[in-house]
Structure 1
Amino acid sequence: MTSAKIELLQIELQGLQLAAEHLRYSLARCEGLTGITNLPPEQLERLESLASRFARLADLLTQRLFRLIDDIELVGNSTLLDRIYRAEKRGWGNASELIKIRELRNLIAHEYSGDRMVEVYTAVASLTPSLLNVVPAVTTYANSLIQHY
Structure 2
Amino acid sequence: MRIEPEQLERLRFLARVVQREQQHLLSTDQRVFAQPFTAARARGLAENVDEAERVEAFVSRFGRLQDTLGDKLLPVFLNALGERTGAVIDNLDRAEKLGYIPSSDDWLALRKLRSQMVHEYIEDPTTLADALQAGHEYVPTLSAFVERLIDDLRQRGWVKPS
One fold, TM greater than 0.5? yes
CA–CA separation in structure 2 for the residues paired with 1:86 and 1:69:
10
* Gap runs ≥5 in structure 1: none
Aligned pair in 2 of structure 1 residues 68, 33: CA closer, same or farther (>3 Å)? closer
Give the structure 2 partner of residue 129 of structure 1. 137
Q: Does 1:99 align with 2:111?
A: no
Larger Rg belongs to = 2
Equivalent residue in structure 2 for 1:64, among 39, 64, 68: 68
Aligned pair in 2 of structure 1 residues 130, 4: CA closer, same or farther (>3 Å)? same
Aligned length: 145
Taking structure 2 as the reference length, what is the TM-score of the superposition? 0.68
CA RMSD, aligned part only? 2.9
Specify which structure has the higher proportion of helix: 1
Alpha-carbon distance, 1:125 to partner: 0.9
Taking structure 1 as the reference length, what is the TM-score of the superposition? 0.73
Alpha-carbon distance, 1:107 to partner: 2.9
Alpha-carbon distance, 1:58 to partner: 3.2
Counterpart of 2:113 in structure 1: which amino acid? L
* Gap runs ≥5 in structure 2: 1-5
Give the structure 2 partner of residue 116 of structure 1. 124
Alpha-carbon distance, 1:18 to partner: 1.6
Aligned pair in 2 of structure 1 residues 93, 118: CA closer, same or farther (>3 Å)? same
